[in-house]
């Protein structure tokens, strides 16, 4: 399996730690973690080319949808797939995230042991068998 490069952006330090540890259980994943939308954008502008960006939806300063808008306004980043991670799982919220251009949504709380599998499934265009 080839190396999967991920940027995970979340303002919550505890969730960043859990996601980082969860994704690191898969030795074929390299995850870079950012504490804010701007920090994540700085990684992209600095030349890091992830295969996917996972974004928390609600963050101070710059929300996940605002980060996605900023990514889409830069031609170098328009093709990078985005997955939102959120506790807001109402049908209308999920539809909004997909309309924004996300390839999928992972709901908090998530299963740390299944997170890497769920990310890979979304990237492959195969939604996981259970809601994430």
**pLDDT by residue (tens digit) across 32-74?**
999 999 999 999 999 999 999 999 999 999 999 999 999 999 9
Torsion angle, alpha carbons of 22, 117, 59, 100, to 10: 170
21 occurs within a structural domain = yes
How many domains, in total, are found in the chain? Answer: 1
Cα–chain-centroid distance for residue 29? 13
Nearest to 65 by CA among 43, 92, 85: 85
128 occurs within a structural domain = no
How much is the pTM? 0.93
Rounded Cα gap, residues 51 and 2, in angstroms: 11
129 occurs within a structural domain = no
For residue 94 the two structure tokens come to 């999920």
74 occurs within a structural domain = yes
Q: Domain residues for 24?
A: 4-123
What CATH number is given to the structural domain containing 17?
3.40.50.2300
85 occurs within a structural domain = yes
């Amino acid at each position: 399996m080839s190396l999967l490069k991920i940027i995970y952006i979340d303002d919550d330090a505890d969730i960043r730690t859990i996601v980082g540890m969860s994704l690191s259980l898969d030795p074929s994943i390299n995850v870079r973690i950012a504490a804010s939308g701007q920090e994540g954008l700085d990684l992209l502008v600095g030349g890091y080319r992830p295969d996917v960006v996972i974004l928390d939806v609600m963050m101070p300063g710059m929300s996940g949808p605002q980060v996605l808008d900023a990514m889409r306004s830069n031609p170098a980043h328009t093709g990078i797939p985005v997955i939102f991670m959120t506790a807001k799982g109402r049908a209308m919220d999920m539809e909004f995230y997909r309309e924004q251009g996300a390839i999928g949504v992972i709901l908090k709380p998530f299963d740390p042991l299944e997170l890497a599998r769920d990310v890979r499934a979304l990237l492959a265009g195969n939604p996981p068998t259970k809601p994430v």
